[in-house]
Chains A and B, each alone.
Chain A
């Protein structure tokens, strides 16, 4: 069964066309990287896939069921969306914030159960943030913050995770940590779509890449097939050097192309 299946999605904001006729599939245990230049519609596509933007009937199926047929709360139990920026409007404690991930699993008036607490504890440990569970979010560094918000998404125990630039602004070590975490989650069966700008990490960790540009998908498939010189030129207007060290591929941008 496909976790996500999009058939011909088009997104417009008023007169402005963002994306046109996008087809997209995500299978169980797959980690897909969404790449493309700024403003190409990556975030819009991710939000659409999360069911946050309106789609036409039969255009988007999540876990084999059409979006319209989903009860919002049930969908929220299966799908976690991690927006860009890791915003917390109030200075709540880390534990409280991560506990928010349990909201879809609790009834309207139900208090948090022992199971909820255990799952939150697991999520905190999995993201290596258990040691500052009682600290408030506003006292965290950027790296700590990113891990806490990931823990929040994991506390949902979703079947699929849609993450918007989860490693933006992190130092190299934390970038690796998060991508490793994604890899192990997808190995355990979770389907993950992540917007990512670092093409070396994208190449290294993602099963598939989807390259967006000019309102459409330029290329998709396994990373090496997508990140060709022509595609990079067309999508990012760059030339790049690609190589490998100890079987790890890398990509270094060399120059921008002037038309």
Chain B
């Protein structure tokens, strides 16, 4: 039964993600939609339609896909590694550090100079966070220490972000920072895609390679070690993988919450709780959910566009509560 369910699940996820991707290209504030997409594909579209579909909506959809994938995958990896269903990609401090890096470019005015200044600042922040976490967690495989290091980095970076907001002498800057922190994919271009894609792809590779180690960790750290896995190496790969992918995602889109927490939780039972099978499933699920949330952002917004991070949290939080209540009932 389980064996039959799995290929089914992956095709469902794959097709839904594809549909959500298409939806993300077709839905927008303007009239341009499915029919126009066909004209673009056949090469008969006018300049404006082509630009809207290929230069505004396509990069946005691609980023939604990649960022969702990153968050879903990152959440699944961290939950597997820490053996804790409440772990999420931001836990090790990467999200707040990337936010801080990005916010600093807004504060210093660098972000006004060229489009990539902000994401580059974000990625730099994420990479510095990794160094700090490795330094704090040391050559010690204890997961508790990793979590504590993550908490320390998160609170420090958040405090510095608040400090920057506090010091912002210009209300326009403060407003811009606030909006950025809410997370959004609006009007990102292919520049953002090209900048973030290599980091995310590299991060995905590092994370996807840990599937077997995560399976072994089902039995606990000692047993996993006795199965030939070096936990120090695995922790380092995971921390770097998360920093690269989640850092780059945060750098281009801001902090988008709940996807990395809810999606692995939701899909776990459908892959028979096997950590390695959850990775790809959760990645696809994350991509699908992020794309859908980003479509919802555009449909729900009349006038000022809602922020994606706000929408994912609005959908995610009640949903997550429901999930917790359901599991509790099952336990009783």
A contacts, CB < 8 Å to B: 47, 50-52, 72-77, 79-83, 85, 87-93, 96-97, 100-101, 103-104, 106, 108, 134, 136, 152, 156
Contact = CB atoms under 8 A, between A and B. Distances in A.
B219 A152 contact: yes
Given A52-B226, A74-B228, 12 more contacts: A72-B230, A73-B228, A75-B228, A83-B220, A89-B219, A91-B273, A92-B272, A93-B2, A103-B212, A103-B216, A108-B212, A136-B273
A103 B275 CA distance: 14
Nearest to A92: B273
A164 B101 CA distance: 49
Contacts of B223: 81-83
A93 B209 CA distance: 22
B215 A100 contact: yes
Contacts, number: 76
B220 A76 contact: no
B273 A47 contact: no
Given A81-B222, A93-B272, A100 B216 contact: yes
A92 B225 CA distance: 19
Give the contact-size bracket for chain B.
Answer: 20 to 34
Contacts of A89: 83, 217-220
Contacts of B83: 89-90
A100 B222 CA distance: 14
Contacts of B2: 93, 134
A195 B320 CA distance: 43
Contacts of B217: 89
B227 A87 contact: no
20 contacts: A50-B226, A51-B226, A52-B222, A74-B228, A76-B227, A76-B228, A79-B226, A81-B226, A82-B223, A87-B219, A90-B83, A90-B274, A91-B273, A92-B218, A92-B272, A92-B274, A96-B272, A96-B274, A97-B219, A106-B212
Nearest to B268: A90
Contacts of A92: 218, 272-274
B261 to A, nearest CB: 17
Of residues B212, B230, B268, which shows the largest number of chain A Cβ atoms within 10 Å of its Cβ?
Answer: B212
Contacts of B228: 72-77, 103-104
Contacts of B230: 72
B167 interface: no
B225 A88 contact: no
B143 to A, nearest CB: 11
B229 interface: yes
Nearest to A80: B226
Contacts of B212: 103, 106, 108
B118 to A, nearest CB: 37
Of residues A51, A80, A91, which shows the largest number of chain B Cβ atoms within 10 Å of its Cβ?
Answer: A91
A89 B275 CA distance: 10
Interface in B199-240: 209, 212, 215-220, 222-223, 225-230
B1 interface: yes
Contacts of B216: 100, 103
B229 A72 contact: yes
A147 to B, nearest CB: 15
B209 A108 contact: yes
A50 B225 CA distance: 10
A12 B217 CA distance: 26
A92 B274 CA distance: 6
Contacts of B209: 108
A104 B219 CA distance: 14
Contacts of A76: 226-228
Nearest to B85: A90
Contacts of B275: 90
B258 to A, nearest CB: 22
A28 B222 CA distance: 24
A244 to B, nearest CB: 37
Of residues A76, A97, A152, which shows the largest number of chain B Cβ atoms within 10 Å of its Cβ?
Answer: A76
A81 B223 CA distance: 6
A107 to B, nearest CB: 10
Contacts of A85: 220
A83 B230 CA distance: 17
Contacts of A103: 212, 215-216, 227-228
Interface string B41-71: 0000000000000000000000000000000
Nearest to B220: A87
Name the 9 nearest CB pairs between A and B, nearest first. Answer: A76-B228, A81-B226, A89-B83, A73-B228, A90-B273, A72-B228, A104-B228, A91-B273, A83-B222
A88 B227 contact: no
